Amino acid sequence: MTESRKLIDSFGRVHNNLRISVTDRCNIRCFYCMPADNVEFMPRAELLTFEEIERVVRVGTSLGIDRLRLTGGEPLVRRELPSLVARLAEVPGIIDIGLTTNAVLLDELAQPLHDAGLKRLNISLDALDPEVFRKVTRRDSYDKVIAGIDAARRAGFRPIKLNAVSIRGLTEDQIIPFAELARETDTEVRFIEFMPLDADSKWQNDKVLTAASIKKILEDQFGELRPVPKSNPSAPASDFEFADGKGRIGLIASVSEPFCGSCNRFRLTADGKLRNCLFSLEETDIRPLIRESGTDEDIATAMLQCVAAKKAGHQINSSDFVQPDRPMYSIGG
Ligand code: SF4
pLDDT digits (tens, 9 = 90+) for 90-131: 999 999 999 999 999 999 999 999 999 999 999 999 999 999
Give the orientation angle of helix 296-308 with respect to helix 50-61, to 10 degrees. 70
Distance separating alpha carbons of residues 244 and 180, to the nearest angstrom: 13
Asked if residue 2 has pLDDT above 80, the reply is no
The reported pLDDT for the residue numbered 257 is 97
Residue of 231, 168, 228 lying closest to 204 (CA atoms): 168
The reported pLDDT for the residue numbered 256 is 97
User: Which atom of ligand 1 lies closest to the CA of 310?
Assistant: 3
How many Cα atoms within 13 Å fall on the side-chain side of residue 177? Answer: 12
Question: What pLDDT, in 10s, does the model give residues 6-42?
Answer: 999 999 999 999 999 999 999 999 999 998 888 999 9
Q: Calculate ∠ Cα 10-275-327, nearest 5°.
A: 135
In the chain, the number of structural domains is 1
C-beta atoms surrounding 3 within 10 Å = 8
Q: Considering the entire predicted model, what is its pTM?
A: 0.95
Distance separating alpha carbons of residues 170 and 155, to the nearest angstrom: 33
Distance separating alpha carbons of residues 147 and 152, to the nearest angstrom: 9
Asked if residue 136 has pLDDT above 70, the reply is yes
User: Which atom of ligand 1 lies closest to the CA of 259?
Assistant: 5
Give, using CA atoms, the residue closest to atom 6 of ligand 1.
Answer: 278
Most ligand 1 atoms within 8 A of CB, residue of 18, 278, 323 to mutate: 278
| pLDDT bracket for residue 1 (50, 70, 90) | low
Using DSSP bridges, classify how beta strands 238-242 and 273-275 pair: parallel, antiparallel or unpaired. Answer: unpaired
C-beta atoms surrounding 227 within 10 Å = 9
User: Which atom of ligand 1 lies closest to the CA of 236?
Assistant: 5
Q: How far is the CA of 177 from the centre of ligand 1 (A)?
A: 29
User: Which atom of ligand 1 lies closest to the CA of 314?
Assistant: 1
Can you name the residues that pair with 109 across neighbouring β-strands?
none
- Domain of residue 172 covers 3-331
Residue of 260, 272, 258 lying closest to 310 (CA atoms): 260
Q: Which residues line ligand 1 (CB under 6 A)?
A: 258-260, 263, 265, 277-279, 313-314
| Residue 26 C-alpha from the chain's centroid | 14
Residue of 103, 68, 75 lying closest to 89 (CA atoms): 68
Give, using CA atoms, the residue closest to atom 7 of ligand 1.
Answer: 277
Distance separating alpha carbons of residues 72 and 196, to the nearest angstrom: 17
Distance separating alpha carbons of residues 235 and 118, to the nearest angstrom: 19
Q: How far is the CA of 282 from the centre of ligand 1 (A)?
A: 14
Most ligand 1 atoms within 8 A of CB, residue of 279, 306, 315 to mutate: 279
Residue 322, burial from CB neighbour count under 10 angstroms (0-12, 13-18, 19+): exposed
| CATH code for the domain of 13 | 3.20.20.70
The reported pLDDT for the residue numbered 4 is 63
| pLDDT bracket for residue 58 (50, 70, 90) | very high
Q: How far is the CA of 314 from the centre of ligand 1 (A)?
A: 6
